[in-house]
Amino acid sequence: MLGDYSRGALAPDADGAVRAHIELCGICLAQIKRLEDLQRAEVARADECPGWREVQERLRKRIRDMVSESDPRNTEKDGHK
pLDDT at residue 46, as a whole number: 65
Q: What is the DSSP letter of 48?
A: S
- Quote the CA–CA distance of 66 and 77 in Å, as a whole number: 16
- Quote the CA–CA distance of 61 and 13 in Å, as a whole number: 52
pLDDT at residue 43, as a whole number: 74
Over the Cα atoms of the chain, what is R_g?
23
pLDDT at residue 47, as a whole number: 67
The predicted-structure confidence for 29-70, as pLDDT tens digits, reads as follows: 888 888 888 887 777 776 666 777 788 888 889 888 888 776
Amino acid at 18: V
pLDDT at residue 25, as a whole number: 86
- Contact (Cβ atoms closer than 8 angstroms) between residue 44 and residue 31: no
